[in-house]
Structure 1
Amino acid sequence: MRAQPKYSRRVEDYREIIGDKAYNELIQIASKLEGKRLVHVNSTSYGGGVAEILHSVVPLMRSLGIDAEWQVLEAEQDFFQVTKKIHNALQGNRKLELTEEERRKYLEWNRYNAEILDLDADIVLIHDPQPMAIPFYARKRGRVWVWRCHIDLSSPNEKVYKFVSQFLPLYNGVIVHSEEYVKPEFENRVLISPPSIDPLSDKNKPLEPKLVESIAGKFGVDPAKPVLAKVARFDPWKDVFSAVDVYRIVAKRYPEAQLLLISSMARDDPEGTVFYRKVVEYVAGDRNVFILTDEQGVHDIEVNAFQRITTVGLHTAVKEGFGLAVTEFLWKNVPVVARPVGGVKKQVIENVTGLTGWSPEELSEKVLHLLRNPEDRARLGRAGREHVLENFVITRHTQRYLSFTYSLLS
């Protein structure tokens, strides 16, 4: 199924943000791929960081003269039950095993999508494990195949990794977020490339203060009081429960503190509803904890507004491919207190762009320090935004993609 990006983008729109040097470098590499057809394939057009990136990357590539397309898998819910299991196993759940029926279901839906998706292209970029088997059935329609893995592969379930890694020889190149995720099977053809935010997207563009105040008021949040916020799916790896624990410790010193738990219910994540209910039960009706989802009308503009009134961002995931929610906070000059896992380590640099810890007690002490020291909050916030500008904006991300795919074509 062909996905339609929600944004229109011109590369010129980013020039003032990124500067002439970065702009000219992007134009130069894009000129080498002008007219080439590049197809992105992923599992959903809504919910989660991959879809968010593609809504901006695809129109930006088109603006650069590349014939970029976005194809989304068509499958029933039973397929996504299997792929969520694969996702959890690759991120380190060693208890999981795929049954023969689950393997058959996974392969059958990949075969079906290989037949119905438009994959005739110079470059086919497959995102994550869900569509990973497609090139096996695609009869070489793509000239160059690239697997883009957005999850933490540092310590996978070996049995499940063995199953998906059988498809790696079908790929000319692999892209991962961090050096920690590189495996021997693809170490000779890998690009290390963190993902990015789009500074012009609804979630990251500047907002008028009156609009921010209006959105906060609509949902009963008081920007004049301390606001802790976590943006994440309802997913076991995100450990939303620890964010609540941190808030409860902080609230003993700051009874007026508020916690915002912001999420979207993605189509390809069947566990979301289950963990949402568990979090609601865990919060136990605390009036200063706000569970804010797309089902309540919280979309990108609202997330943007909530992040802008946040005093300290929280990221309590125990595994994380990268953590674009962290990037979003940093872009808005909000310091983040986080567990140093996966790609978060590339973003939250201790006492430079934020503070790190592991236990709820340690994390809460770091939050309390920032609540007591506004000068430190401001210093870390400024450094965080600069760090994102240098490393994690959509233009830099696109430039790395284009340089890598050009090298593979050559």
Structure 2
Amino acid sequence: MKVKLPQKSIKDYEFISKNDVEELIELAKNLKNLKVIHVNATSYGGGVAELLYTLIPLMNNLGLNAQWEVLEAPMEFFNITKKIHNAFQGEDIELSEDELEFYVKINKENAEKLDLDADVVIIHDPQPYLIPMFKNGNYIWRCHIDTSSPNLKIWDKVITLANRKYKKALFHLKEYFQEPFKSIAVEFPPSIDPLSDKNRKLSENTIKEIVEKYGIDLNRPIITVVARFDPWKDLKSAINVYKILKERIDIQLLIVSAMAKDDPEGWILFEDILRYAGTDRDIHFLTDLKGVGHPEVNAFQTISTVGLHTATKEGFGLVISEMLWKGNPVVARPVGGINLQIIDGYNGFLRYNINELADAIFEIIKNSKLREEMGKNAKKVVKKHFLTTSHLKRYLKIISEVI
């Protein structure tokens, strides 16, 4: 299924760096009219979809012919690919031969019905990974998850089916490079779009309307977690951190999420986390089920005193950069791509233990000077490394190499 996209202009990003924009225009000159297809599992929910909504229109504005195809598959397929996702992140699970056969079958069907006639095809994550088995082309695999210690039994079974069909494999960190991709692997961190509804500067009136609608008190400190309902996000630990702090200071916890189409497990975890939180009125569950979209997420991050992220595995965690971009420090566990974004003691704190996470947040809340300084540093880090222009530059260079 082809995704319809808005138009964007690269010139609008000159406020980040005029030199970067000029470099992008120059890089794209040799790629005019080159057809590039991105393939992923869903057009809504999760960081991959958000990235593509920005990157593909900008590729088109630079003169490429970039398009986006989304897999067509039943829920049974996404149950299987969620298992594969978890196995790639190290979970000890089994994948039956029947499940593997069904995974292959759906990839084959999509290879036949999606528009994949292009100069370069970029496959995102495990769901469409097998498509190159059934359709020739110049393929790049873009892996957005933490593969630093995969379940090798499942990894080998799945990856070796199609690895030779790929010209490049892109991972957030070098620590994620695994055989048989090491010879073609590239370190490739993602980005946030500073002009998207989730990251652009909102008016005070817009923020006030959103805050009042969802009953949040601006006169008390606000801790915000933005994460999918996924076992790796460990949202129970976030609630535990909040409960420890609640005994010391009058605070609120915002748990902000979207229910992704390709993650059926999320609904089960959502109910489990709701039960775990109980009836505490200062824990706010703010999801698309309550009308929360990108402007609302933006507002919640903007009004936050501090961001919290308790994931035990994290491919990158774009929500960290989103919070930092709003000038707020973040306290998080030092896992995966979080280590690239948070410099301990500079724009937040890296802690693992629940009590240490709570202590770090308490220090930020109580020390306004520290909070202000960390907030300034937070925005600097994102502007330098994790905005759209840097990411787009990496894509144009890798596409040039592949063709």
Which band: TM-score by shorter chain?
over 0.9
Q: 1:363 & 1:20 partners in 2: Cα distance?
A: 39
- Asked if 2 retains the 8 angstrom alpha-carbon contact of 1:239 and 1:318, the reply is yes
Establish whether residue 294 from structure 1 lines up as the match of residue 288 from structure 2. yes
Q: 1:379 aligns with which of 363, 373, 377?
A: 373
Query: After the TM superposition, which residues 25-104 of structure 1 pair with which residues of structure 2 at under 5 Å, given as runs?
Result: 25-94=23-92, 96-104=93-101
Match of 1:70, SS state, is strand
Residue in structure 1 matching 2:197, options 173, 186, 202: 202
Q: For residue 212 of structure 1, give the secondary structure of its aligned residue in structure 2.
A: helix
Displacement of 1:389: 0.9
Superposed CA offset, 1:174-204 (max 9, x none): 1000010012312222221111100000000
Measure the CA separation in 1 of the matches of 2:56 and 2:34. Answer: 13
Equivalence for 1:245: 240
For the residue of structure 2 that corresponds to 1:260, the secondary structure is strand
The aligned counterpart of 2:120 is 123
> Which residue of structure 1 aligns with residue 140 of structure 2?
146
Partner SS for 1:334: coil
Matching of residue 346 in structure 1 with residue 343 in structure 2: no
Deviations 1:288-333 (A, max 9, x none): 0000100100000000000000000000000000001101000100
Q: Does 1:23 align with 2:21?
A: yes
Task: Tell me the distance in 2 between the aligned counterparts of 1:390 and 1:66.
Answer: 26
Structure 1: runs of 5 or more not aligned: none
State the SS of the aligned residue for 2:170: strand
- Name the CA distance, whole Å, in 2 between partners of 1:131 and 1:49: 16
Aligned to 1:281: 275
Q: Which region of structure 1 is more displaced relative to structure 2, 21-30 or 219-228? A: 21-30
How far is 1:30 from its partner?
1.3
Number of aligned residue pairs: give it. Answer: 402
* Structure 2 unaligned blocks of 5 or more: none
- The whole-number CA distance in structure 2 between the counterparts of 1:306 and 1:300 is 10
Distance in 1 separating the partners of 2:207 and 2:217: 11
Which residue is equivalent to 2:7?
8
Of the structure 1 ranges 180-189 and 112-121, higher mean CA displacement relative to structure 2 is found in: 180-189
Does 1:108 pair with 2:102? no
1:312 aligns with 2:306: yes
- 1:323 counterpart residue number: 317
Q: Secondary structure at the match of 1:320?
A: coil
Please list the CA deviations of residues 136-173 of structure 1 after superposition, one character each: whole Å capped at 9, or x if unmatched. 011x1x2x110000000000001110022211111000
Distance in 1 of aligned mates of 2:186 and 2:13? 24
Written as runs of structure 1 = structure 2, the 5 A alignment for 1:255-266 is 255=250, 257-266=251-260
Q: Distance in 1 between matches of 2:234 and 2:69?
A: 31
SS in 2 for 1:85: helix
Query: Which 4+ residue blocks in structure 1 deviate beyond 6 angstroms?
Result: none
Q: Contact 1:230–1:313 at 8 Å: present in 2 too?
A: yes
Contact 1:83 1:129 in 2 (8 A): yes
C-alpha separation between the residues in 1 aligned to 2:310 and 2:280? 20
> How far off is 1:8 after superposition?
2.2
SS of residue paired to 1:173:
strand
Is the CA contact 1:87–1:129 (under 8 Å) kept in the aligned structure 2? Answer: yes
Q: In the aligned structure 1, how far is the partner of 2:216 from the partner of 2:379?
A: 25
Which deviates the most, 280-289 or 183-192? Answer: 183-192
Q: Give me the TM-score of the superposition, normalised by structure 1.
A: 0.97
Correspondence for 1:173: 168
Residue of structure 1 aligned with 2:153, choices 159, 174, 177: 159
Give the partner amino acid of 2:211: A
| 2:174 and 2:186 in contact (8 A); partners too | no
Residue 184 of structure 1 is aligned with which of 175, 179, 183? 179
CA distance in 2, matches of 1:299, 1:163: 38
Q: Give the Cα separation in 2 of the matches to 1:113 and 1:265.
A: 24
Bigger CA drift: 25-34 or 290-299? Answer: 25-34
Instruction: Quote how far apart the aligned CAs of 1:214 are.
Output: 1.3
1-side partners of 2:305 and 2:74: how far apart? 41
In structure 1, what is the Cα distance between the partners aligned to 2:69 and 2:60? 15
Q: Return the alpha-carbon distance in structure 2 between the equivalents of residues 4 and 384 of structure 1.
A: 34
Q: Aligned partner of 1:55: which letter?
A: Y
Give the TM-score normalised by the residue count of structure 2: 0.99
- Asked if 1:356 corresponds to 2:350, the answer is yes
Q: What does residue 401 of structure 1 align with?
A: 395
Question: Conserved in 1, the CA contact under 8 Å of 2:257 and 2:287?
Answer: yes
Q: CA separation in 2, counterparts of 1:350 and 1:252?
A: 25
Please tell me whether the aligned partners of residues 213 and 223 of structure 1 are also in contact (alpha carbons under 8 angstroms): no
Q: How does 1:363-374 map to 2 (within 5 A)?
A: 363-374=357-368
Distance 2:65 2:351 in 1: 44
